[in-house]
């Protein structure tokens, strides 16, 4: 059956706007993991697609360099992609170029069946669907202890996860009423409303670099949706959050602005890079106070394509990949 999504286009001024802000065709019917970029993993063909999450265009098809595993979940850190083997405690690491980097076994850490991964910042979040527990660990794998992040209640069979802001998690699960939900605590969550209840599950969730958005796959419609949790801003403003959040409108069609939330004052560097990591422009370099800032971003003269913004503050780094749709001269 096809699934109709109820799009919430307007809410009261005191509430946050929440809706599907973009949908594109999925590259296959077997997407079991999504990560920022956008990269998606196909469990049947055992490939990773590098694609445009706004149009559905596939830039590259990357064969998985491991045999004997059914990939679920997907997380990205720099040029590395991580996915799990269905029904196992194994995490496989490959490069975005298709090279094998290695494997890591979490079975000695009390994890039994990994079904979802998310790596929005420096840490890796791991979902164990046998216990409905989400764990957090440092990267690279094995560099730090495994700690419990959330033990989810009322959540039948986790398919995948994506972090939202710094303290919430988007979950795709086996539930015909609310197959995609955002957990605030072990027992509190907000379901994404579907009009008919005809979708039995969603099977892939991926974090967007803005922090308040995420991708999820809809197998009934054959689509990938981008969901906005708060249209009022692209950064979390809670001063207690020990992190830095950066966002811009995406895609970009002309000169625009960067929104930057700083948890503390200091020397800030914002650089514009190409997808190969080559520096194109030093967008900003200077001292900024703690809080919210707006920084102009000029893209006139740049060809259409995918680019990376990287902001640094002390030992904090925030990265944001975005697309320029046309060349404005």
pLDDT at 277 (0 to 100): 66
Q: What average pLDDT does range 252-274 have in this prediction?
A: 86
Most confident range, picked from 103-117, 149-163, 248-262: 103-117
pLDDT for 63-77, tens place per residue?
999 999 999 999 998
Question: Does the N-terminal peptide bond of residue 140 adopt cis geometry, omega within 30 degrees of 0?
Answer: yes
Q: Any idea of the CA torsion for 122, 232, 313, 96, to the nearest 10 degrees?
A: 40
In order of 82, 156, 190, 213, 230, the CA distances from 75 in angstroms are 5, 22, 23, 16, 23
CATH class given for the domain over 19-228: mainly beta
Phi/psi-derived region of residue 58, left when phi > 0, alpha when psi is between -120 and 50, beta in every other case: beta
In order of 56, 99, 158, 295, the CA distances from 92 in angstroms are 26, 11, 19, 38
Q: What average pLDDT does range 86-95 have in this prediction?
A: 96
Distance from C-alpha of 94 to C-alpha of 178, rounded to nearest angstrom: 33
Residue position matching structure tokens 């999925």:
26
Q: What average pLDDT does range 49-74 have in this prediction?
A: 94
- What mean pLDDT is reported for the chain? 80
* Three-class DSSP labels, 117-136: EECCCCEEEEEECCCCEEEE
Given a cut of 70, whether residue 87 has pLDDT beyond it is yes
Q: What average pLDDT does range 271-288 have in this prediction?
A: 84
Given a cut of 60, whether residue 81 has pLDDT beyond it is yes
pLDDT at 232 (0 to 100): 34
pLDDT at 210 (0 to 100): 66
Q: Lowest-pLDDT range, 16-30, 212-226, 235-249?
A: 235-249
Distance from C-alpha of 82 to C-alpha of 213, rounded to nearest angstrom: 21
* Three-class DSSP labels, 55-69: CCCEEEEEECCCCCC
Q: Phi first, then psi: what are they for 108, rounded to 5°?
A: -80, -5
pLDDT at 243 (0 to 100): 59
Q: What average pLDDT does range 50-64 have in this prediction?
A: 93
pLDDT at 265 (0 to 100): 87
Question: Does the N-terminal peptide bond of residue 38 adopt cis geometry, omega within 30 degrees of 0?
Answer: yes
Given a cut of 70, whether residue 8 has pLDDT beyond it is no
- Please report, for the chain, the start and end positions of each structural domain, with discontinuous segments joined by +: 19-228, 245-324
Pairing of strands 147-151, 158-164: unpaired
At residue 189's C-alpha, the angle toward residues 185 and 190, to 5°, is 145
Given a cut of 80, whether residue 108 has pLDDT beyond it is yes
pLDDT for 185-229, tens place per residue?
887 877 775 543 445 567 888 777 667 788 899 888 888 988 877
3-state secondary structure of 109: helix
Q: Are 168 and 184 in contact (CB under 8 A)?
A: yes
Given a cut of 70, whether residue 278 has pLDDT beyond it is yes
Q: What average pLDDT does range 155-181 have in this prediction?
A: 83
Higher per-residue confidence, 274 vs 111: 111
Distance from C-alpha of 31 to C-alpha of 175, rounded to nearest angstrom: 18
pTM for the full model? 0.65
Q: Which two tokens mark 33?
A: 């993991």
Q: Are 192 and 180 in contact (CB under 8 A)?
A: yes
Q: Lowest-pLDDT range, 1-10, 158-167, 217-226, 306-315?
A: 1-10
Q: Which two tokens mark 105?
A: 């076994």
- Annotation: CATH topology of 245-324: Immunoglobulin-like (2.60.40)
Residue of 254, 257, 261, 267 whose CA lies nearest to 329: 254
Structure confidence at residue 326 as a pLDDT band (50, 70, 90): low
Percent over 70 (pLDDT), the chain: 81
């Amino acid at each position: 059956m096809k699934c109709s999504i109820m799009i919430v286009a307007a809410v009261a001024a005191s509430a946050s706007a929440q809706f599907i802000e973009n949908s594109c065709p999925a590259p296959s019917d077997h997407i079991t993991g999504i990560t920022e970029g956008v990269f998606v993993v196909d469990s049947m063909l055992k490939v990773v697609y590098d694609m445009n999450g706004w149009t559905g265009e596939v830039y590259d098809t990357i064969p998985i360099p491991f045999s004997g595993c059914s990939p679920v979940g997907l997380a990205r850190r720099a040029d590395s992609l991580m996915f799990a083997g269905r029904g196992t405690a194994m995490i496989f690491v490959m490069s975005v170029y298709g090279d094998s980097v290695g494997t890591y076994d979490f079975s000695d850490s009390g994890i039994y069946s990994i079904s979802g991964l998310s790596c929005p910042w420096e840490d890796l979040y791991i979902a164990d669907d046998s216990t409905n527990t989400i764990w957090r660990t440092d990267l690279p794998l094995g560099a730090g202890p495994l700690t419990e992040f959330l033990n989810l209640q009322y959540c039948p069979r986790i398919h995948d996860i994506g972090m939202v802001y710094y303290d919430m998690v988007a979950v795709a699960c086996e539930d015909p009423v609310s197959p995609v939900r955002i957990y605030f605590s072990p027992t509190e969550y907000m379901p994404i409303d579907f009009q008919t209840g005809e979708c039995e599950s969603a099977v892939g969730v991926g974090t967007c670099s803005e922090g308040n958005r995420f991708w999820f796959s809809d197998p009934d419609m054959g689509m990938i949706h981008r969901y906005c949790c708060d249209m009022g801003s692209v950064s979390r403003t809670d001063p207690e959050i020990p992190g830095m959040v950066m966002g811009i409108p995406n895609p970009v069609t002309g000169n625009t602005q960067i929104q930057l939330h700083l948890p503390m004052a200091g020397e800030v560097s914002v650089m514009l890079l190409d997808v190969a990591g080559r520096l194109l422009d030093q967008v900003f370099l200077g001292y900024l106070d703690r809080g919210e800032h707006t920084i102009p971003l000029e893209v006139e003269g740049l060809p259409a394509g995918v680019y990376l913004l990287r902001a640094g503050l002390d030992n904090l780094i925030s990265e944001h990949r975005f697309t320029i749709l046309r060349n404005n001269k």
